[in-house]
Amino acid sequence: MIDRRLLLLSLAGVLAASPLRAQGAASDPAALLSAIYTRVAKGTGEDGGNFVIESKAARAKYLSASLAAQWARMDARTPKGEVGAVDFDPITNSQDPDVASFKVTPEKQEADKATLAVTITGHRGARKEQADSIIRYDLVREAGQWKIDDIRGAVDGQAWSIRAMLADFIKLTDEPSRK
């Protein structure tokens, strides 16, 4: 009898703790980026992170509502068969993904927004510019989940931002206003 009670109490404790663990991960913005980069670094790290932005459903899962809407505006203005504003993998900051390992570093966190830096190391060695190995994420909390609100990095030491790239593309493709 005592063994059954102990077993039932133990089982109840495990079941009660499970939502807390899941909620803890949802309340930690680093968990989102760690999950993304764990997938990116699997195998030889050549598959990259395009799974984050490859479809409307993927963007809804990973991106903030406003960034996903901005991406949709860019898609709507991109001629069929063309690439659009983002012609590289922003998750790996490359055309040719190479991720052996990564380190997620929180830089700033508030209740509903955070900035984290991800430093990636490739199998093929260090990049020429150290800044090119660091990708910064601005995240926002929407409906209890952390979502990517911007991705920022550098190429040959020159800064870029996904939001800025999308905004520039949309501005360039605006139809002239008719008066």
DSSP 121: E
158, part of any domain: yes
Mind listing the pLDDT tens digit for each residue in 98-154? 999 999 999 999 999 999 999 999 988 888 888 899 999 999 999 999 999 999 999
160, part of any domain: yes
Query: Using CA atoms, how far apart are residues 170 and 178, in angstroms rounded to an integer?
Result: 18
Residue 24, pLDDT score:
42
Contacts of 173 (CB under 8 A, 6+ apart): 77
CATH of the domain at 59: 3.10.450.50
Highest mean pLDDT among 19-23, 116-120, 153-157: 116-120
* 48-58 as b/e: b if 16+ CB within 10 A: bbbbbbeeeee
Number of structural domains in the chain: 1
150, part of any domain: yes
Q: pLDDT over 90 for what percent of the chain?
A: 66
2, part of any domain: no
4, part of any domain: no
pLDDT at 177 over 70: no
- What does pLDDT average to over the chain? 85
50, part of any domain: yes
pLDDT at 14 over 80: no
Residue 27, pLDDT score:
63
156, part of any domain: yes
DSSP 29: H
Domain that holds residue 78: 29-172
179, part of any domain: no
